[in-house]
Structure 1
């Protein structure tokens, strides 16, 4: 599961590139109850979404020519330069070479060999998101790709991720875990999904935990967003939906199944 004990290879940051920053602020504020705080005029329109006073995501204007609105998942690395080099050697494209973000950290923007965009973050003063897994925050990340086998090999090569294939109706779902952690299930943070349709595009899809999926679906549609996959129940996992904001950025929401409480120790 995701925690803020960010180990190497774990999702640690998330931001949205949007053609309409003000419109995106309004949308996500209404849908998730997020507040928005600008990083200041020197940040070029970049700012942070906060929930209960803690950083849960970020937002900025689109800066790459021809880019579409999308969420970008950042994965923690101890050395952004080394990871970017390893990714390039593994067939990835380095869209933005490693650079320092003041003293906050060092980052690079990459595209994996199958076409999914992601970023890496070498922390400085900013370690990562301040809240995950709680309602209104990131709880899972999912890679949608045309070639799950090649994708698993690529990311294993740069992050050492472990994987476990699980049979679900109609496909094989791969659960991803960081290299660190004795319990592979507890170290899991995301999955790999093969394309459902030939027209699908490779991307990383962030999941946000919510208390009521159907309410979020209604708020999304009421605020100009759209439904990609209607709300549905997944046994032993939770109720989920795939959505898009008014500018086309895809995201998912889930109300996770609460694991059963462990029995209290016997007083005898």
Structure 2
């Protein structure tokens, strides 16, 4: 393959990748993704040491060790558009030679785990619990820009389209699975298995109304009532589907862990969101370093 043009693989003057401002030596093979840049230090406070601290825009990276395991924590900001940047640039850091601008013949596979907040749409999943996403459905259009049909679960796609009957100008939903080996490692009796919906916005796309009316007043209920192959959509957020889809296409392993801070079915909201997030962080770190 010819080398990648400067307009496609964009590097900073110091040789770092354009948006993340990272060089290959700055990241570990295990990556924890968070939306909020202030949450990075909520994780690395538990590290034995931190060797890398780099910030650019909303992207804040810290790399260090926890119980001897090297881990990177990176903030992505909100939305699948930011995930498109982060996942492609993380892959470039390990699978493209920045000197020759050529794709490496031998590929590196990363473990990419999202730690995020989310709202449940099922009554039986209470606030302050943890959902481990086995599946994700994207209601954005990101994966449709890639040759991604092979990583999508087409039977789920069709069932969702038929059930939701969404507005013709909306994007068609796409369903992608988490990495099964990571699911097996993190799915303990203390957490809930999940089918996570990733929405293109926080308000209307998730059925919230403040002052603007919704095109489909029943969208949230239709999402909650969907069932296919004994799988129900459990919670809504804004990143997981893109993480699963891009990771699978690029040959990385991905998982999403969701701290449930709201239950949309009951109207409840956590009384201590910081504690719910901290519990999810500590659960993640312990599972990562367990035998």
TM-score interval w.r.t. the shorter chain? 0.3 to 0.5
Q: TM-score by structure 1 length?
A: 0.32
Identify the structure with bigger relative contact order (alpha carbons < 8 Å, sequence gap 6+).
2
Determine which structure has the larger helix proportion and give its number.
Answer: 2
Q: TM-score by structure 2 length?
A: 0.30
